[in-house]
């Protein structure tokens, strides 16, 4: 499920942003930050605006600074969603860039990470990326999962999750409202999977990466969500 909130507060993309670099991984241009020496990887799967969003890359660098090898692929093959392109509204764009295709690409990225000697992988999905993470958590191809303001996920997805999972949602989210997140929480609590569901007050869909850097309250809420994500991975990606 997607909607207008998926497209709100679009970032200004910058291919030169971040302290890491871009390399080819499993056939995808991928923003990479951190060292492989830890053998612990975090796989960041972006929202519809893609891997060139400066706040997204800033987060990748923050995760790398915590000791992880971080990869953030371009699942959209150079065509992130552009709200200013009238010829490619979201309903048309998504037909070429569905999470199902993202999942197939993600499996190749997982294989590539393992070929580099990575021994444990955590995956975080933002909006669109949450559905990809849901599929990775079912197989399971990862050791831990985090979803932030998820889109496209359903109650049924959580009945099959097999790895520890954290879901970070917003109070004002028409795509995954608090009532739906509470349903996810109930299903997960009934399973044997470690889980954590948190609803952040006074924020809207996309807040963890699509925030105004000059808005102190927005930055604080984003940092809190990012710290929760980091702590989840520190606990389960070992």
> The domain that contains 51 carries what CATH number?
3.40.50.1820
pLDDT tens, position by position, for the chain (238 residues)?
455 555 566 546 455 567 899 999 999 999 999 999 999 999 999 999 999 999 999 999 999 999 999 999 999 999 999 999 999 999 999 999 999 999 999 999 999 999 999 999 999 999 999 999 999 999 999 999 999 999 999 999 999 999 999 999 999 999 999 999 999 999 999 999 999 999 999 999 999 999 988 999 999 999 999 999 999 999 999 9
- Number of independent structural domains in the chain: 1
pTM higher than 0.75, yes or no? yes
Phi and psi at residue 41, to the nearest 5°: -120, 150
User: Where in the sequence is the domain holding 150, given as residue range(s)?
Assistant: 4-236
Decide: 171 and 199 in contact? Cβ < 8 Å: yes
CA pair distance 231, 128, nearest whole angstrom: 22
**Which residue do the tokens 């509470």 mark?**
182
Instruction: State the DSSP H helix or E strand holding residue 42, giving kind and residue range, or none if neither.
Output: strand 40-45
């Amino acid at each position: 499920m997607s909607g207008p909130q998926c497209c709100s507060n679009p970032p200004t993309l910058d291919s030169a942003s971040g302290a890491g670099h871009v390399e080819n991984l499993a056939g995808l241009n991928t923003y990479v930050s951190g060292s492989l020496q830890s053998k612990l990887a975090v796989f960041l799967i972006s929202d519809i605006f893609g891997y060139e969003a400066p706040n997204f890359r800033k987060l990748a660098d923050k995760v790398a600074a915590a000791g992880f090898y971080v990869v953030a692929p371009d699942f959209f093959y150079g065509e992130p969603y552009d709200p200013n392109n009238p010829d490619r509204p979201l309903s048309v764009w998504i037909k070429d860039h569905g999470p199902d295709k993202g999942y197939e690409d993600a499996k190749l990225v997982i294989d590539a990470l393992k070929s580099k000697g990575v021994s444990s992988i955590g995956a975080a999905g933002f909006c669109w990326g949450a559905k990809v993470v849901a599929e990775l958590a079912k197989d399971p191809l990862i050791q831990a999962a985090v979803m932030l303001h998820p889109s496209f996920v359903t109650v049924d997805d959580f009945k099959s999750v097999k790895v520890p999972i954290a879901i970070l949602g917003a109070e004002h989210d028409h795509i995954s409202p608090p009532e739906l997140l509470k349903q996810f929480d109930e299903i997960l609590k009934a399973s044997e999977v470690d889980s954590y569901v948190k609803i952040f007050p006074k924020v809207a869909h996309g807040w963890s990466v699509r925030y105004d850097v000059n808005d102190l309250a927005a930055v604080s809420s984003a940092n809190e969500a990012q710290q929760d994500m980091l702590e989840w991975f520190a606990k389960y990606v070992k």
